[in-house]
Structure 1
Amino acid sequence: MQFAGSHILSIAQFERTDVERVFAVADRMGPYAQRKRLTKVLDGAILGNMFFEPSTRTRVSFGSAFNLLGGEVRETTGFESTAIAKGESLYDTARVLSGYSDVIVMRHPAEGSVGEFAAASRVPVLNGGDGSNEHPSQALLDLYTIKSEVAAHGGHLDKLRIAMVGDLRYGRTVHSLCKLLSLFDAVEVHLVSPLELRMPEDIVEQMRTAGLSVWESDRLEESIAQVDIVYSTRIQEERFSSQEEADLYRGRFRLNQSVYTAHCQPNTVIMHPLPRDSRDHARELDDDLNDNPNLAIFRQTDNGILVRMALFALVLDVADQVDSHSREVNWYTAGRF
């Protein structure tokens, strides 16, 4: 894949070597994400952060990643504050806003919308999530986290065993992650969901065609017993036709400390793309797991900064210039804290 100047719209764009390239650059971003060094490699560059659907982690993470590379961020949130509310097309919006930015991150509730926008944009566009379709940067940060977590116990992405639990029909994070896992060897995937919320068949078939072993089940306990990773997802209530329909499935698969202790191996890693639903009738990932050292959800969010910094550096072709535009800093001795 040629990163420089490219849109990042789908995991389908990536080969295994591309993923390894992103991870290699992400590894180098640690000192900058931890504020031990400052870089101004994107000094003067502008990110257009366009989020037409609610977001906390993805929006702030992309913005922070760009700031940490020295760039500036301009944000748009919600339809009501844009000309789209007045009937402007995605084409016109893209033509205009790409004149104000050097790169754009976009989230939109309609499948394929980010690709439509990118087709008219004059600058690279990164998909921050398009409906229930894909979320490529989330899949990359998830896989980066998986790689780090299993490596601590001598594991590898090849021969990985993972259970994905919850709303697999509408969960765009698991859609992209499954496509990414198809690039690796001898991976076992256990798909745990209600029948009505199964993983789309085309994604299941893609994994099997790629040589992955895939099992589908609606039984949580037996599916998480022999895996390296349990990846839990919430019910995507915003994708359902009604609140009542979403409530039919909420709380169906709850992972808490007692279930973990009874059925998981001691080093099984727990992941979730967040937000987790902490309401009493949901709790797909219970708060009583917060002190479990294998709960990796906040390490995931930290890794999101590294991976998104890497994507910006690659797309804007500055990955090899980050260090040369940097300096060491100590915020404590500088009196910042």
Structure 2
Amino acid sequence: MDFAGSSILSIQQFTRADVERVFSVADMMEPYAHRRKRTKVLDGAILGNMFFEPSTRTRVSFGSAFNLLGGEVRETTGFESSALAKGESLYDTARVLSGYSDVIVMRHPEEGSVAEFAGASRVPVLNGGDGSNEHPSQALLDLYTIQSEMAGRGRGIDKLRIAMVGDLRYGRTVHSLCKLLRLFDNVHVTLVSPSELGMPGEIVEQMRSAGVDVLESEQLESGIAAVDIVYSTRIQEERFSTQEEADMYRGRFRLNQSVYTANCEPNTVIMHPLPRDSREMARELDDDLNDNPNLAIFRQTDNGVLVRMALFALVLDVVDQVDAHASDVAWYTAGRF
């Protein structure tokens, strides 16, 4: 991929070499993300952060990533605070706001909406999630985390064994991650969910056609045995027609320390795209795992800043200029990383 000036809308755009390029640049961003140095390479640039669905991590992570490169962020959150509430089309919104920004990140509840918006935009657009379709930057940060966790065990992504657990039908993070895993060799994926919330058939077939070994199961205990990664997801209640329907599945696959100890290998890494549902009726990833050293969920969120900084640097074509605009950090930064 020629990243400069490109919109990032789908994992389908990426080759393995593209993924490795993103990860290489993400590694370069570590001193800046961890506040050992600062850079003003994007001084004067403006990010339009447009989120029409609730978000904490993705929205703030993209904004922080842009700020850490020296840029400024302008935010629109929710339909009610935009002209879309007055009937304005995505086309018109894109034409207008791309005149105010150098790059735009967008999240929208409708599948394909971000691509539609990007088609009218005059600047690059990064997909922050479109309905239950895709979440490209989340998949990239998830795989970057997997690479980091496996490197600590002397392993790479090839020959990975991963179990994905929970709402696989509506979970856009696992959709994008599955598409990304097709680029690697000898990958084994176990899909654990109620049959009604199984991974869409076309994604399963795409993985198998690419040589991924896929097993579908409704049994949590056997599904999380003999894997390197357990990737848990919450019930995507906002995608169900009624709250009652979502509640039918909530809490069906709970991972806690006792289940982990009884079924997982000692070094199995636990991941989750967050937010995890900590309400009593759910708890798909229990709080009693918080002290487990293999719980990687907060390392994931830290890695999200690195990967999103890398995407901005690549799309705005400043990778080779980041260090030239660097200086020392003057404030207290110890203890966070």
- Number of the residue aligned with 2:313: 313
What residue in structure 1 maps to residue 204 of structure 2? 204
**Runs of 5+ unmatched residues, structure 1:** none
Displaced runs of 4+ in structure 1, greater than 6 A? none
Shift of 1:332: 3.1
2:50 matches 1:74: no
| 2:214 match | 214
| Deviations 1:220-277, CA, capped at 9 Å, x for gaps | 0011110000000000000000000000000000000000000000000000000000
The equivalent residue for 1:256 is 256
CA contact (8 A) 1:164 1:189 kept: yes
Contact residue 193 and residue 218 of structure 1 kept, 8 A? yes
Residue range with higher mean Cα deviation, 300-309 or 152-161? 152-161
The aligned counterpart of 1:276 is 276
Q: CA deviation at 1:328?
A: 2.2
Q: What is aligned with 2:176?
A: 176
Residue identity in the other structure for 1:12: Q
Partners of 2:2 and 2:220 lie apart in 1 by 41
How far, CA to CA, are the matches of 1:231 and 1:189 in structure 2?
Answer: 11
Query: Which ranges of structure 2 fall in alignment gaps of 5 or more residues?
Result: none
Q: Does 1:159 align with 2:159?
A: yes
Q: Matches of 2:182 and 2:328 in 1, distance apart?
A: 40
**Would you say the 8 A contact 1:36–1:330 is kept in 2?**
no
- Deviation at residue 201 of structure 1 after TM alignment: 0.4
Output aligned runs, 1:81-160, within 5 Å: 81-160=81-160
Amino acid at match of 1:77: T
Aligned letter for 2:114?
V
Look up the match of 2:244.
Answer: 244
1:65 corresponding residue in structure 2: 65
1:265 partnered with 2:265: yes
TM-score (norm 2): 0.98
Deviation at 1:155, TM superposition (A): 1.6
Task: Please tell me the root mean square deviation across aligned C-alpha atoms, in Å.
Answer: 0.7
SS in structure 1 at match of 2:321: coil
Cross-structure match for 2:41: 41
Rounded to whole Å, the distance in 2 between the matches of 1:215 and 1:45 is 46
State TM-score, norm by structure 1.
0.98
**Offset at 1:330?**
4.2
For 2:88, what is the secondary structure of its paired residue? coil
Report the residue type matching 2:118 in the other structure. A
Summarize deviations over 1:138-192 as a string: whole Å, max 9, x none: 0000000000001111121000000000000000000000000000000000000
Tell me if structure 2 keeps the 8 A contact 1:58–1:128.
yes
Q: Distance in 2 between matches of 1:192 and 1:332?
A: 44
Query: Is 1:188 the equivalent of 2:181?
Result: no
SS at match of 1:320: helix
Matched, 1:56 2:67: no
In 2, distance between residues paired with 1:159 and 1:86?
A: 51
Q: Distance in 2 between matches of 1:3 and 1:202?
A: 28
- Tell me the number of residue pairs that the alignment of Structure 1 and Structure 2 aligns: 333
Summarize deviations over 1:67-119 as a string: whole Å, max 9, x none. Answer: 00000000000000111000000000000000000000000000000000000
Is the 1:43–1:71 contact (alpha carbons within 8 Å) kept by the matching residues of 2? Answer: yes
**Aligned mates of 1:328, 1:155 — CA distance in 2:** 35
8 Å Cα contact 1:48-1:97 kept in structure 2: yes
